[in-house]
Each structure stands twice: as structure tokens, then as C-alpha cells.
A and B are shown apart, each in its own frame.
Chain A
Amino acid sequence: QKEVEQDPGPLSVPEGAIVSLNCTYSNSAFQYFMWYRQYSRKGPELLMYTYSSGNKEDGRFTAQVDKSSKYISLFIRDSQPSDSATYLCAMTPEGLTDSWGKLQFGAGTQVVVTP
């Protein structure tokens, strides 16, 4: 069983709709939860991260973490065609700063926002 599960999609939505993405995980030691966005043939870039449980909002993006259910979500409001990309969840246990880049990634969900 993978430590992080993520539906690969593709997920197709019309422009302006809410995009809902999620991941489940099995390692209860995970404390930092991140969402990366990856455009085709490019390296991933960090969208946002949350620590432990709760919600975090940044513009049109909202990240949620439910540690009791081992479930994280990313919502994109008012989706735009430029949001079309692969979204990867990633997570890491709390520890020394030398481990920030040692991330466990989900498979990534391909999102297509149609005009």
C-alpha cells in the first residue's frame, strides 16, 4: 500500500467551477502537508502548505487537513484555464530542517479547466 494515495484523474471542469482535489495517507507521523502544481514538462512548484490540521486560504486556493481521517484537500474557486495542470499532494514528518525536501508525494491529479 502506498503511503499517499491520490486519484490521477483527469478531472475536467468548466471555467468558473470549483475544483476539489484530495489525498489520503497512512503515516500518522506526517505533519506538514503541501500542494504542488506542475505544468506539462515542467518541475513542480509549491502552491501552499499547512501544518497539522485545519484550513488555510490563499486567494482562490483553500487547503484543508483532517488528521483524524488522514485526509487532505485542495479547493480551487473560480477556476481558470490557466489552472490546468497536474496537482500533487506531498507530505513530510516533522523533524530537522534537513528533511524538508524529503517528501512523500501522491501520484498527482491532472486537472483540465475548459473555457
Chain B
Amino acid sequence: SQTIHQWPATLVQPVGSPLSLECTVEGTSNPNLYWYRQAAGRGLQLLFYSVGIGQISSEVPQNLSASRPQDRQFILSSKKLLLSDSGFYLCAWSYGNIEAFFGQGTRLTVV
């Protein structure tokens, strides 16, 4: 069966510090991978998606970047965090069906 791992679960970082969130998927090959951010009262916003290694599409301009160094690994990064980067970050995958499977999320607080 397929599983998705996302870590860390909680992160507190100072303004201006770098960020690296990692997501891995098991049990499937060549999945589509997504990073979403959930801000309070605003639902989920798609940040990045990837249909293959090295292929990244950005949905909104921001202080973040994404990379896919391996087929089932998706990384969200920032060189310098802003206060506005605080939120709940969710990784998801899908493959040829209607359902997007989400990880457990990382709650990021920038202080």
C-alpha cells in the first residue's frame, strides 16, 4: 500500500532562517507530488506541483521553492523565512485517479 511521510510535524524558526521540509512517498512510482499551505480560515492553497524528477511548477509567487531530487521525494525550501510564511504545510500525491493523498502536515511558526 502507498504511504506518504512528511516531517517534521512541528517547527519553530526565526525570521531570516532557512527552511527545508521533506516529503517522501512509498509504494508507488512516478507520482504527481504537491505542496499545499493552509492558513487559518483560508483553506488550502497549492504552492508547487511536480509530475516528475526535476519538474517543478509554481502556482503562486512567494518566498519558497521546491525540488524533486528523486522520484518519490519532494522538498520545500526557503533561504530566508518571513513571518508570513507561517502556516500548515501539506504534501500530497496523486496518480491517475481522482484522489489526492495528503501527509500529516508540518506546522511552521516563524517568530
Distance (whole angstroms) from the CB of B33 to the closest CB of chain A: 8
Asked whether, in the complex, the Cβ of A107 is within 8 Å of the Cβ of B41, the reply is yes
Asked whether, in the complex, the Cβ of B105 is within 8 Å of the Cβ of A41, the reply is yes
Tell me which residues across on chain B come within 8 A of A108, comparing CB atoms.
43
What is the number of contacts between chain A and chain B, taking CB atoms within 8 Å?
Answer: 64
Distance (whole angstroms) from the CB of B81 to the closest CB of chain A: 21
The 8 A CB mask of B26-44 against A (1 = contact, 0 = none) is: 0000001110100001111
Number of contacting residues on B, CB 8 A?
29
Tell me the B residues contacting A by CB distance below 8 Å: 6, 32-34, 36, 41-46, 49, 51, 59, 90, 92-100, 102-105, 107
A-B complex: 6 closest residue pairs judged by Cβ atoms: A43-B102, A101-B94, A101-B100, A105-B43, A107-B43, A105-B44
